[in-house]
Amino acid sequence: MSIKTYAMAIRDTMAEEMRRDHRVFIMGEDVETLGGVFGCTKDLYKEFGTERVRNTPISEAGFVGAGIGAACAGMRPIVELMYMDFTFVAMDQLLNQAAKTRYIFGGNAKIPLVIRGQQGIGRGNAATHSQSVETFFMHIPGLKVACPSTPADAAGLLRTAIRDDNPVMFFEHKALYARKGDVPDDPEYLIPFGKADVKRAGTDVTIVANLLYVSRALEAADELEKGGIHAEVIDPRTLVPLDIDTIIKSVKKTGRLVVVHEAHRNAGWGAEIAAQVTEAAFPYLDAAPVRLGTAPCPLPFNLGLENAATPQVADIIKAAKAVLYQA
């Protein structure tokens, strides 16, 4: 076990997989000597050369398409986007090509492609560079969606993504890159997709969160504990496939559900979880599920306004008390 930052866990996992399999390579803007905007590919070109750590032009549509072509041809590309907001530039490539090619060819084609990059709030990057867009990719069959919240989860999920024969959208959070945690040294450390993690056990209310909001949910749970409320915090880790069974099991125990995410509240992935829980566990609910998400406005540049638009720890505490009728 080693202590690593979230960013270093990602870098080291890519390096280990590149040593393991010569078909794995990285491509993206400034991934070579600059090491990517947050250092996740730092110095990898020194070991693997510029054929396997490839700089690209500023053309997401172009290099995402090239990644899909390389995957179809037998390579295992990792395509880094500076900001996952820029997936919108390559939506046709992602939704109509990557997601559907294996189906179109009757399962005979493999698309071992990872699209990874960072998103989210915390740096005042404003409206077009601070969005949380993972929900968009839940809607289209054929794409897997991973959202690690810790260094260990980043390592285990990324290794699984790289070895998967299907396209994986791998969402990192810019505010997590400097966070440190224990990461297994085992080069075969894998976290299976579709397996949620109960980050904290509890009996009174279930709180489901991902990425940055896992730590915020845990902070809220600490505060709730002081008032005698025992919250269970669950990190889905992957949204596709989604481990709804772990969430339903928890709600059957607690009778109450709060879902919090940084994505916009309207039609966010929390709505899907609330719907599935209501359908499967309605008799067990003692209160209507509560969803927290970003307000329906473009994210502001000003950090104070950014905080006003996004859920805070106090909001999670308030929601948990509300479903317990303690508001």
**Domains 2-183 and 197-323 in one fold:** yes
Q: What is the pLDDT of residue 327?
A: 66
Token pair, residue 212, equals 């940055």
Question: CATH classification of 197-323, choosing from 3.40.50.20, 3.90.1150.10, 3.40.50.920, 3.90.1300.10?
Answer: 3.40.50.920
60 is catalytic: yes
189 vs 210: CA distance, rounded Å: 21
> DSSP string spanning 156-190?
HHHHHHHH-SS-EEEEEEGGGTT-EEEE---TT--
Q: What is the pLDDT of residue 181?
A: 97
Active-site residue among 16, 29, 129, 134?
129
Active-site residue among 16, 29, 32, 60?
60
195: Cα within 13 Å, side-chain hemisphere: 8
Q: Which amino acid is at 16?
A: E
b or e along 283-297 (b: 16 or more beta carbons within 10 Å of the residue's beta carbon)?
eebeeebbbbbbeee
The class level of CATH for 2-183 reads alpha beta
Q: What is the pLDDT of residue 203?
A: 98
Q: What residue ranges in the chain does DSSP mark as E strands?
A: 2-5, 24-28, 53-55, 76-83, 114-119, 144-146, 168-173, 180-183, 197-200, 205-209, 231-235, 238-240, 257-264, 290-294
Give the burial class of 117: count Cβ atoms within 10 A of its Cβ; 0-12 exposed, 13-18 middle, 19 or more buried: buried
Q: Which amino acid is at 7?
A: A
- In degrees and rounded to multiples of 5, residue 255 shows phi and psi of 80, 5
Q: Which amino acid is at 320?
A: A
Going by C-alpha positions, the residue among 134, 100, 101, 140 that lies closest to residue 117 is 134
Q: Beta 114-119 vs 231-235: how paired, if at all?
A: unpaired
128 vs 133: CA distance, rounded Å: 11
The rounded average pLDDT for each run of 10 residues, N- to C-terminus, in the chain (327 residues) is: 96 98 98 92 96 96 97 97 96 97 93 97 89 96 98 98 98 97 97 98 98 98 98 98 98 98 96 98 97 96 94 98 90
- In degrees and rounded to multiples of 5, residue 67 shows phi and psi of -65, -40
Going by C-alpha positions, the residue among 124, 126, 102, 103 that lies closest to residue 113 is 102
Domain ranges (residues) in the chain: 2-183, 197-323
245 vs 195: CA distance, rounded Å: 9
Q: What is the pLDDT of residue 124?
A: 86
Per 3-state DSSP, what percentage of the chain is helix, strand, and coil (rounded to 5)? Answer: 40, 20, 40
Contact 189, 134 (CB under 8 A): no
139 is catalytic: no
199: Cα within 13 Å, side-chain hemisphere: 27
